[in-house]
Structure 1
Amino acid sequence: MHIIHKILLFYLLINCSAAFAQDSTKAISDPIDYSIASRFHSNDYVPLNLSYKFFDPQKKDKTALASQPIFVNSERPLIDGTIWRTNSDVNYLRLTSMLGAIAVVNTVAYTYQRKVWYTEETTVFHSLEFLNDWNKYQQMDKFGHFTDAYITSDFSAKIYRWSGLSGNSSVWFGALTGWIWMLEIEVSDAFMAEWGFSWGDMLANTAGSAFFILQQFNYDALGGIQPKISWHKSEAWKEMRYHKDPQALIEDYEGMTFWLTVNPHHYFPESWKKSYSEWLAPLGLAIGVSAKDIGAYPWAGYKEYFIGLDIDLKKLPIWEDSNLLKFIMSEVNFLRLPLPTIRFSSQGTWFGFYF
């Protein structure tokens, strides 16, 4: 049934993409009436490049072209190496190949999960008690679900744009794909006796995908904010203090830190940006949260809070000639690099390089 579910989802995405591709044949009366999202992405685009397509099925004299409908599709290169299109111009070879690759990766990941996590007793579909689940691990698992949903939504949207979908379509399909990806995990958990469907996880998943949508359509206000993660093997794992030994790093909650980073350069007035060094543009601020003493008893422990420097790898002025490198850096940028950081907790204050 799981494989059938994937095939149906794959088929649905292709057909939905075809439906959205129809907007590439719409006549636009005002070629400067760009989408909301493309306007708010103006800080991350190069100057506008318009291509005009004329269609004359009767092959009449070229002077008749002036009376033919004008089809307009504006394309703006993004800082992540993809292109934001006003209208879809789908490359179905790219789309089907990438959806196929995603399906393969998803199947491999699910098989790995089955071997690592889903080895216990199975049962009927059931859900967890909300507050009891919410109070576990100092909400570190919920921060993780929010971040994972955002990252998968963002990655999926890039794939859809690379495949030729319009900017608006890529945002909606990307968020939907990221959300469904996370939903699949929850449904699998729901049949495990030790686990269960978590409404708290689903709330965090939805918040992550929703924030991605809000950010893309309100880029001036939210484009300078990015969720990031960092991880180091915790002392709890090294000293085997977990009530159940972690099978993978994503179960080492005490070693994870989740961040929201802010890039001030994004919010500078244009007049400031002209005189601001391009090498200083990537510098930003990171605010993070982690937890300790939650391994032995998930409902115990305390939070740690962090504030430190951050570098937005996308803004480094060394990827300008390669869309592939721009794309790779936009993905690596989800990792918060080891940089000077101040940590605050009930145990005191600490300063140093932290990852």
Structure 2
Amino acid sequence: MKWQIRAVSLLFLAIFLSNVPTQAQPLPVAPVSPVEQPGINQGRFIGVVAGTAVFYTVTLLLLRKQWYKKRVPFHSFNDNREWLQMDKLGHATTAYCMSRGGYELMRWSGVNERASIITGSLLALLFQSTLEVYDGYSEGWGFSKGDMIANVAGMGLFMGQQLGAGQQVVTMRYGFRKTIFPPYRPNLLGKTTGQQMLKDYNGQQYWLSVNLASALPVGPSFPRWLNLAAGYSGSGMIGGHQNPKTFDAAGNEVKFERYRQFFLSPDADLSRIDAFSPSLQRFIGTAQFFKIPAPSLEYNRVKGFRFHPLLLPKE
């Protein structure tokens, strides 16, 4: 059920970003033209409010009908040790990106900066929190305090930076690669590539991408789009807490060692390239949820240091 919820969250994010012009930051703000005077654009604002309300209502009704049929008394459960905490990073990243998408949508509607920050962030938290409450009434799951902490952390990362610095110095990104593990448990890890992108935690990476020009005292000629990203993933996982006994086609037992992976890689914030038109920035911004493939340095306790020229290898 968790992967379906993540899919809905990502769809919500895609709808947000596909309608928002991504703005280059922290470049100097251009003077407001007579055509773009500050103030709420009533048509856009009404459309955003109505669209958000309809999407929220319809999505939750569909979730309740399709995936939350068996209701039990509200309860909680502790999944903080599952999947080497990859699920928690997924919650934080989704909440961060939804907060940013909501903010951009509000700004596009003409809402002022502070109100857009608060509204976008609270919309993301409301959506994620509602799903967690649904989990609390769901058989086989439960309300996860760890998930809620991760949701708040992702929202807080966006809100704190936008309120404090007026820009996103640190952004959260997602990466994916195919792995060898889903065929051993396809119902859990996914049968298709689309399912595996949401269910196979071995193939996912979550990145903190720092904009160097915003974080360091560099000169005006330094590329303002250049970022440095630190990533995290896990490998060898075919079960949440531990791996069950697994056998290959010949009937031989297959054992996988679970371990954490840490990455360092250059990245690019394409929304800071002012040579792009606003419409092109908006289009490119929809892909900024994903980490751009680039050379990376990996460390894990099993294989030590490894250098990857571009794409991470299939494991």
TM-score bracket relative to the smaller structure = 0.7 to 0.9
Q: CA deviation at 1:246?
A: 3.4
Q: Tell me how far apart the structure 2 counterparts of residues 104 and 196 of structure 1 sit (CA, whole Å).
A: 26
Q: CA deviation at 1:100?
A: 2.6
For 2:205, give the aligned amino acid.
T
Q: Which residue of 2 aligns with 1:95?
A: 45
Classify 1:338/1:42 alpha carbon distance in 2 versus 1 (closer, same or farther; 3 Å): closer
Contact 1:98 1:159 in 2 (8 A): yes
- Is 1:328 the counterpart of 2:271? The answer is no
Q: Tell me how far apart the structure 1 counterparts of residues 300 and 186 of structure 2 sit (CA, whole Å).
A: 21
Q: Which residue among 93, 111, 114 is the counterpart of 1:168?
A: 114
Q: CA deviation at 1:112?
A: 6.3
Contact 2:208 2:229 in 1 (8 A): yes
Q: CA deviation at 1:307?
A: 0.7
Classify 1:240/1:170 alpha carbon distance in 2 versus 1 (closer, same or farther; 3 Å): same
- What is the TM-score normalised by the length of structure 1? 0.68
Q: CA deviation at 1:346?
A: 1.6
Q: Which residue of 2 aligns with 1:15?
A: none
Where does the alignment leave 5 or more consecutive residues of structure 2 unmatched?
1-23, 244-257
Q: Which residue of 2 aligns with 1:216?
A: 162
- Is 1:351 the counterpart of 2:299? The answer is no
Q: Tell me how far apart the structure 2 counterparts of residues 110 and 255 of structure 1 sit (CA, whole Å).
A: 28
Classify 1:180/1:134 alpha carbon distance in 2 versus 1 (closer, same or farther; 3 Å): same
Q: CA deviation at 1:314?
A: 1.2
Classify 1:264/1:117 alpha carbon distance in 2 versus 1 (closer, same or farther; 3 Å): same
Contact 1:243 1:296 in 2 (8 A): no
Q: Which residue among 236, 239, 249 is the counterpart of 1:296?
A: 239
For 1:241, give the aligned amino acid.
R
SS of the equivalent of 2:239 reads coil
Q: Tell me how far apart the structure 2 counterparts of residues 165 and 240 of structure 1 sit (CA, whole Å).
A: 50
Q: CA deviation at 1:180?
A: 0.4
For 1:210, give the aligned amino acid.
G
Q: Which residue among 172, 177, 180 is the counterpart of 1:232?
A: 177
Q: Which residue of 2 aligns with 1:63?
A: none
Alignment of 1:1-355 (within 5 A): 43-49=26-32, 89-107=39-57, 109-110=59-60, 113=63, 117-118=67-68, 121-129=70-78, 133-219=79-165, 223-237=168-182, 239-241=183-185, 244-246=188-190, 248=195, 249-269=197-217, 272-273=219-220, 275-276=221-222, 280-299=223-242, 301-319=258-276, 322-348=277-303, 349-352=305-308, 353-354=310-311
For 2:26, give the aligned amino acid.
N
Contact 1:342 1:351 in 2 (8 A): yes
- 1:166-200: CA deviation from partner (whole Å, max 9, x where unpaired): 10100011110010011121011111111111110
Q: Which residue of 2 aligns with 1:35?
A: none
- What is the TM-score normalised by the length of structure 2? 0.75
Q: Tell me how far apart the structure 2 counterparts of residues 168 and 181 of structure 1 sit (CA, whole Å).
A: 20
Q: CA deviation at 1:269?
A: 4.1
Q: Tell me how far apart the structure 1 counterparts of residues 288 and 60 of structure 2 sit (CA, whole Å).
A: 25
For 1:163, give the aligned amino acid.
S
* Larger Rg belongs to: 1
Q: CA deviation at 1:230?
A: 0.8
Classify 1:93/1:307 alpha carbon distance in 2 versus 1 (closer, same or farther; 3 Å): same
Classify 1:243/1:251 alpha carbon distance in 2 versus 1 (closer, same or farther; 3 Å): same
Q: Tell me how far apart the structure 2 counterparts of residues 218 and 269 of structure 1 sit (CA, whole Å).
A: 18
Classify 1:226/1:128 alpha carbon distance in 2 versus 1 (closer, same or farther; 3 Å): same
For 1:316, give the aligned amino acid.
I
Classify 1:245/1:281 alpha carbon distance in 2 versus 1 (closer, same or farther; 3 Å): closer
Of stretches 176-185 and 297-306 in structure 1, the one that deviates more from structure 2 is 297-306
SS of the equivalent of 1:253 reads coil
SS of the equivalent of 2:208 reads strand
Where does the alignment leave 5 or more consecutive residues of structure 1 unmatched?
1-40, 52-73, 76-84
For 1:343, give the aligned amino acid.
E
RMSD over equivalenced CA pairs, Å: 2.8
Q: CA deviation at 1:265?
A: 1.7
Q: Which residue of 1 aligns with 2:246?
A: none
Contact 1:242 1:296 in 2 (8 A): no
